[in-house]
Amino acid sequence: MKTSALGDIIHALPTLYALRSLFPEARLCWAAEPRFAGILPGPPWIDSVVPYRKDELRALPFWKIPGALRGMARGMRASRFDLALDLQGLMKSTLVCLLSGARKRLGYCEMREGSFLFTRPVKGPNRAGHVIERYLDVARSLGPVPDEVRFPLPDCSGERDAFRRELLGLGLSGPLALIFPGAGWASKLWPPASYARLAARLSAAGMAVALGGGPGDADLASEIISLAKAPLPDLCGRTDIRGLMGLTSLASLCVGADTGPLHLAAAQGTPTVSLFGPSSGRRAGTWGLSARYVQTDAPCSPCFKRRCPKKEFVCMGRIDPEAVFRAALEVLPLGPPRALEDGWTRQAVAQKVSRRLWEL
């Protein structure tokens, strides 16, 4: 049970890997909102996806909701589930667990909104650690699982090839840096001027730089482009989730706030630098040896508030673009030897990006 959002679902994928390793013959189903189902892998990892149509339920008159829930329950109970794992930890996910008919229901340590009254929280050794490890503690409570953290993902080779052709058609070449300026919370937004300064530094270091994100990030992208001293192709709103997966798999670097595209990139081994203000990089930073996060030095961080009480970029504005640039240079040599053209080696990518570092 992990119904949304993109980054949260990515964080739960290693638990799927652990469960399949632990129960190779089991029938595993994942409950998710349909808009996120495209990022979930099919067999042998997941046998089916149970759609949780939150928006449709909300749009129904209140007297029709019980009937819709009964229909959902009938569909799930036909599968005769033995166990429900709630990695969302909210009342909405608890409701779906109850509707599933599974008598045994486990959740991770941080169960909210009273969900712990219906689902038993698993408080493992990583209760204060990264959220990926917290989720894995739930699988570990069921038996021995592999130590390695892996992210089962669907194949995106077709989307990757399509974006490669598109970016080459835009005149981009060499190693690609993607900047994702959007965020789910207003308090997580880094100032456009800081992104523009970072884009200029990455471009001067020899990288092709482009902006990515959803349709709602178009205004942010326009402002960054107007402030930047280098041309920045705007790819915002031009990808679905599978397309986003293909795009981030092409990149040699992805930079942005605590947001889904960064976690998706990291799950594919793309070097990432994520920016944290109101949330905690130690708790939810991008995962992997080629991942780094920059946490603000604001004394109020992390506050975990969606909107800054002071109504300004207090914590995110204190993140220095130079610190982000240095983190980018640190992780670049750790990633795979990617470039938009074929035939590049890890050494060639490193030389392309580092040849003028002494000047920078």
> What is the pLDDT at residue 348?
61
Tens of pLDDT, residues 88-97: 999 889 999 9
Tens of pLDDT, residues 103-122: 999 999 999 998 898 999 99
Rg of the chain over CA atoms, in angstroms? 21
> What is the pLDDT at residue 352?
61
Sheet holding 104-108, edge to edge: 83-86, 104-108, 120-122
Contacts of 273 (CB under 8 A, 6+ apart): 253, 254, 255, 291, 292, 293, 294, 324, 327, 328, 331
pTM comes to 0.91
> What is the pLDDT at residue 342?
64
Tens of pLDDT, residues 176-190: 999 999 998 889 999
Tens of pLDDT, residues 272-286: 999 999 999 999 999
Domains detected in the chain: 6-140 (3.40.50.2000), 157-354 (3.40.50.2000)
Contact between 338 and 250 (Cβ < 8 Å): yes
On the question of pLDDT at 320 being above 90, the answer is: yes
> What is the pLDDT at residue 197?
95
Tens of pLDDT, residues 221-266: 999 999 987 779 999 988 889 999 999 999 999 999 999 999 999 9
> What is the pLDDT at residue 326?
94
By percentage, how much of the chain surpasses pLDDT 90? Answer: 66
Q: Per DSSP, which regions of the chain are E strands? A: 29-32, 48-51, 83-86, 104-108, 120-122, 176-180, 208-211, 253-257, 272-276, 291-295
Q: Average pLDDT of 133-144?
A: 96
Tens of pLDDT, residues 214-226: 888 999 999 999 9
On the question of pLDDT at 351 being above 90, the answer is: no
> What is the pLDDT at residue 357?
46
Helix axes 192-204 and 321-331, enclosed angle (nearest 10): 40
